[in-house]
Structure 1
Amino acid sequence: MPHAYPRVKKMASNSRRSSGAGSSRRSTNGMRERASIQYRDGEMTNAHRHFLQSLMSKRIMTKREAKKTASDSHRLYNEESSGEGPLFTEFVQTINAKLESLGFKIGMSKVEHDGSEWVGFANTSSTGGGDVIQKASGLGLAELEFFRTCLQQMVTEENNGVASSSALLAKLNTLQRKMTGKAAQDLLVSLTKDHWFFEISRGHYCMGPRCFIELLPFLPEIVGESIEECRLCSNRVVMGDRCLGCDTKLHTYCIVQLSRRGQVKCPQCHEEWEGEIPTLE
């Protein structure tokens, strides 16, 4: 039985007007003061609930969009803004403290091909890789098998995180549950629309933000092999480059980050990074 989504309390309207301007100002100041106290104490306010409802409805947002949504939520309820810097992280942590016991969380991650940051709503109650994919995506058994096959193709060393549609469709005859080429192509379009995959060039796919936020802890189990950790950020790395001296693998965006500091040295062997420094589009 699918794990039920958490119920978010219905938010009280703040549209009631006081009879006098002085009363209105006192009411507004009081709301702000109470919101500030609740926020410092780690309690959920209406702004937290409004933000959570917005994220649950979309499942995934860019971090920029999420920050704006948090700021808009505070503005709507006359609460102090938490849409920038460390306050946004604290704002999310407050919500996660309430979601933890329900088996959910708000996760944040970068995607590998361009380093963009995303925020998503994730199920943490799953017992394994197949379980988490089914709960998160709602796919049928044949679709789940093809999804898993796509991920397996992407993470192979020779593919370095990218798989062509022709290579993916060629795997259809290896599936236990048969699927037509048309159905598989339609599924690729749907998975891309839902941000499980990115089509980084025509007919070439890589993992999208929902894979990193919802599936990352289960990826080794899903693809049937271990996945290295980036030596710079300690997150798992699929798409990246290797040090020619010691074979350490780093995310492309981590190498770019190093280059912005003025010099690129391998964090493992501390030698100058050989080869071309990648760029992000």
Structure 2
Amino acid sequence: MPYSNEHKTVLQAIMHEGALHEARGKELVIRLFKHNNTAQILSEINTKLRPLCMTIKSINCEVTGELYWIFANTVQDKTASFNSEFSQAELALLRNVYSEIVTSNSGWVSSTFCLNLCPSINLKLSKTDAEQFLLEMVNRQWLCCKDGKYYMGVRSIAELLQYFKDTYEGNLHICTLCKQELFYGDKCNKCDAIAHVYCLQNYARNHNSLGCPNCQFSTSRQNFSSSNASAMDIDDA
């Protein structure tokens, strides 16, 4: 099928949202193309984008498991580039939050800890301004927040993975199931294998097993129940 105005509309919707929820993307494809073969439409768009070193990536939120479509550059380097509309102090805070998430054993950092980072940043940033900035990062899917904890957002995973690989090479983990990098997952208490929560949920359904997919030992999350949080859930505390 030739690249059409309908393809452009899907691409513009993804670019406008930054991270478009798959459910909304499917609705758009059905309305424009009268079918639900989203894989075909994304493939046709990506064929057009390939010479421009751009692509549409499908990325799962590590907290909710929900799938998003993200417009990303296929050529990444070790320099994390962020929108110039934000101040140097805000970007310094974001990089510090990234560092804490990546180097933690849990894959998250508390909102209180993030706000307490402000005095350690050379450039002036009040806790009120920092809180508003982090809220904006959640709204734009650069971060995910649940119960007062910040996790890596889908846009950061899609667009800044090479930066994280180059900067925190020794701290990145690989999902034992999908073999992709992960920042937040479920770790086996016996063999230390780690996997995305949504990968474990799929494994449990397909194999009727709650054991570790690597050693079959019962893992820390017994029921693998899906989190009800969304990337927009901000704890007010």
> Structure 1 length normalisation: TM-score?
0.73
Does the CA-based 8 Å contact 1:155-1:238 persist in structure 2? yes
2-structure distance, mates of 1:184, 1:223: 24
Structure 2 match to 1:174: 120
1:71 matched to 2:57: no
Structure 2 match to 1:229: 174
Does the CA-based 8 Å contact 2:144-2:152 persist in structure 1? yes
Structure with higher Rg: it is 1
1:56 matched to 2:3: no
Tell me, what secondary structure is at the counterpart of 1:239?
Answer: coil
Answer 1 or 2: higher relative contact order, Cα 8 Å, separation at least 6: 2
Structure 1 match to 2:108: 162
Give the counterpart letter for 2:117 in structure 1: K
* Percent of paired sites with the same residue: 24
CA RMSD, 1 decimal: 2.1
TM-aligned CA distance change 1:178 to 1:222, over 3 Å = farther
* Superposition deviation, residue 57 in structure 1: 1.9
Point out where structure 1 has 5 or more consecutive residues left out of the alignment.
Answer: 1-38, 76-80
> Structure 2 length normalisation: TM-score?
0.85
Note the 1:1-281 alignment, pairs <5 A: 39=1, 43-75=2-34, 81=35, 83=36, 87-131=37-81, 134-135=82-83, 138-158=85-105, 160-201=106-147, 203-223=148-168, 225-260=170-205, 261-268=207-214, 270-277=215-222, 278-281=224-227
Q: How many residues align?
A: 225
Deviation sequence 1:209-258 (CA, Å, 0-9, x none): 21222223322335574301101011112211222221111112222222
Point out where structure 2 has 5 or more consecutive residues left out of the alignment.
Answer: 228-237
* Superposition deviation, residue 265 in structure 1: 4.1
* Superposition deviation, residue 70 in structure 1: 1.4
Does the CA-based 8 Å contact 1:129-1:221 persist in structure 2? no
